[in-house]
Chain A
């Protein structure tokens, strides 16, 4: 689905990514992790075609749907209005959504269990609810690759669980390929088949989650000790930071 080789991406005359190569097969889920400012958003914007890479090859084998970070709109659109905008690609310059477009959007609202949001003002919904509407918008575009920029940022645990469960469901039953960025290694442990650890603009680790996602790699990634933690009585694990509390640095 995604084939990138030797990607170099610039933004405002500054090289953000240098010689990035990655492959992702159809029906897999890639989690992108990295410190703030390392270029996760730049990479995502490149994948969805907003930024043209300066050099290198990028080929995406299907339509891309994009779910931005926590989203607000300046006008009081209803949730249905927002999701309908996902149909843009199928409508042409002078078109407007018709009966079929409403049916498609309704189908996804039903699938996500958010029918009752339809008439509500999008901005009045909570962060988690808005995230679901934006996912419905991306699905309504009938994409095969779903790209999400920090889909779980600003969501409470229950909503994170809901979004992660939804992504897994989409991959399993709709053969969707998914790329998402996150700050929590646990999200990758839970649902990602592959991870991309962006250490800096020109070094990264990319591979199947089982190999690439390790305490060692994560510690290097975040420049902070990260340890594996096993849940008592469950065959599950996560990675958590071992905070250093070296406040001594602050008073000079």
Chain B
């Protein structure tokens, strides 16, 4: 796996170009490029410049507070954190949750997938894809899309709204609801909410199909761009259901290598630590996870829609499965690796989410049945869920006094850290190298990052004792004091 362009030699002699902030992503990040005097790219890095601290300030809090507190990590996908924490606490309590509770959580989660994928594709990325990467920057936004393609924008906005309504009906609020609790749920779906959602769901399925068609048209219109832009080899990871189906709420971990061969399969969520390690680099607050058996240089991997659609054996809803087959066929026997294929895979998942919601809304267990169960209390639990952006891991230890003693979060965007950096380098090498930089050229870098739908707010939750050297120098550059924390 290519990691050149990570650190240039003779950095102080190079010219520095910064994209700060990276726009139309969640959270704050920046890209630095170091160029030599002939405008050749010598170094390209995606830096995460936020610093948060959930892993530490969750310690000492009671376990039942955690699913509500941790969802404040994010305003886009709070449901993912809400449910991953709830699943981890189910394990702490030793509770296999009830049928009704699981279906309600699934409905909430697929509502989240629908709204987040719609938000990302229509609001954040479609301006690049519909207008071109170097189009007029003032129109390259959702308002510009609404003016030029009003029906596309309208469907995007209403798809997202529908997903938000699913979340409100199951969690109580569109953002930062409290429906899921350790051991189950605290509410059923109200009949009037069910009826209101059912009245609209067929539209949503149709519009999701149209979204997949739109992405496919874009691919067909410019295959050279869509099949090559930011293309590189990578391992992939996701949860997969026991029978190999795509399951975004629960499953076991599966890794495939860059050729699509299964490396590791059926690893229970509770054993994630036997697979994954995290590496720290001095220039980013975001860690670099990797598959332990391959090491940090070879073991990094992609997560999210592009990984999931190709890691599962099938999608258990018919329309999305038909689209998955077409997507796989597009690779002609090879895994599809182009960065822009993330959008295609994401829209297939959007369609899958709409189908799952449609099927769930006909299920009477959402309206009645036990919501909470009892179990045998333990002290540790891992909850893994496939969040819109990829695999989300929550791991907690809880003392006998009910207070959290340890918290480890590995969020989707963190898994994609190396992949995003590699995408940035591929694009920098291919499109920017040796050229005079313009806004449009720099936007190529952002397009590559955006394809991953990174959530940089989520990805910078960690807080700890980072090794730090502080030097105080006088005007002449002489070090007069030095403090080291390791």
Do A and B come from the same complex? no
**Residues of A near any B CB (own CB < 8 A):** none
**Residues of B near any A CB (own CB < 8 A):** none
